[in-house]
Amino acid sequence: MALSGARRDGMELRIHESLEELSTDLADYISDLSEATIKERGTFCIAISGGSLVSLMRTLSQAPYIKTIEWAKWHIFWVDERVVAKNHADSNYKLAKDNFLSKIPFIPSHLHSINDSLTAEKAANEYEFVIRQLVRTRVVGVSEISDCPRFDLILLGMGCDGHVASLFPNHSVLDEENEWVSYIIDSPKPPPERITFTLPVIQSSANVAVVVTGSNKADMVHLAIDDVGPECPSVPAKMIQPINGKLLWFLDEPAASKLGGATQNSV
């Protein structure tokens, strides 16, 4: 049984008893959003992070989703990527392929991953160029407020330190306001070299879903979601507030165990 309720303006929480229940609800959410977006725009542009989120997306490669989703209309991007070869164990591209993408009938040219033969800086620049081209050809939407790409869905995980994508606490990349894709060479979470969507791009998304599980994240979930006053440390996950979009948190009960305040409704 899931609990759900609005906590901050426009933010919804979905708290689940089990990873299986969360994974199914996440698949239903993505499937429904895909159907509605394709009906409206003709394509569905989704950007995924790495980490444990990806194993929770396996359900999409199973019935009924494998048959009901219009995969040919999907364009898949990476919110962040490690600057390693695509067949390297640390690659988010490899993680997604191994977990679900290899089982999905998408159009190969609709998979937009980094050029793994470049340096972090060049890979970020080229990835941004690819996205700019897809905005120009209207495959990817554009935010009328920020002029940033407006992805239909950005899926984030969150680290124990509150990082999302490769936006780590107190890192200067959090202040990037002009580039759509930036890079870091000093990631506190290995490997050190990564490219990442910048905060303005994430904030411009039509929908952002943050998927967090495990009791080791409970303290940071509390800091990210609850109002904890001005003494709150730098928590990138707390900065995620889509400027004209929806924010949804998928949590299991251990990750939600330190949330304050009442959680309304049960579905």
Ligand X SMILES: O=C(O)[C@H](O)[C@@H](O)[C@H](O)[C@H](O)COP(=O)(O)O
Contact footprint for ligand X (CB under 6 A): 49-53, 80, 92, 157-159, 163-165, 189
Taking the least distance from each CB to ligand X, the nearer of 43 and 187 is 187
Task: State which residue, 73 or 202, has the beta carbon closest to ligand X.
Answer: 202
Length of the chain: 267
Q: Which of 196, 192, 191 is nearest to 167 (CA)?
A: 196
Query: Toward ligand X, which CB reaches closer, 37 or 187?
Result: 187
DSSP characters for 126-168?
Answer: HHHHHHHHHHHTTSSEE-TTT-SEE-SEEEE---TT--BTTB-
What minimum distance in Å lies between the beta carbon of 100 and ligand X? Answer: 16
Q: Which is nearer to ligand X, 43 or 78 (CB)?
A: 78
Pick 45 or 251: Cβ nearer ligand X: 251
- Name the one residue in this structure whose structure tokens are 């790409």: 149
Task: Write out the two tokens for 111.
Answer: 């998979």
Q: Residue 212: beta bridge partners?
A: 251
Beta-carbon count within 10 A of 217 CB: 25
Shortest Å distance, C-beta 95 to ligand X: 8
Which of residues 26 and 165 has its CB atom nearest to ligand X in the complex?
165
Minimum CB separation of residue 237 from ligand X in Å reads 10
Q: Quick one: 73 or 78, whose CB is closer to ligand X?
A: 78
Q: Are 82 and 125 in contact (CB under 8 A)?
A: no
Minimum Å gap between C-beta 144 and ligand X is 28
Q: Least distance to ligand X from the beta carbon of 38, Å? A: 26
Could you tell me the two tokens for 93? 């591209």
Q: How far is the CB of 77 from ligand X (least distance, A)?
A: 12
Shortest Cβ distance from residue 168 to ligand X (Å)?
9
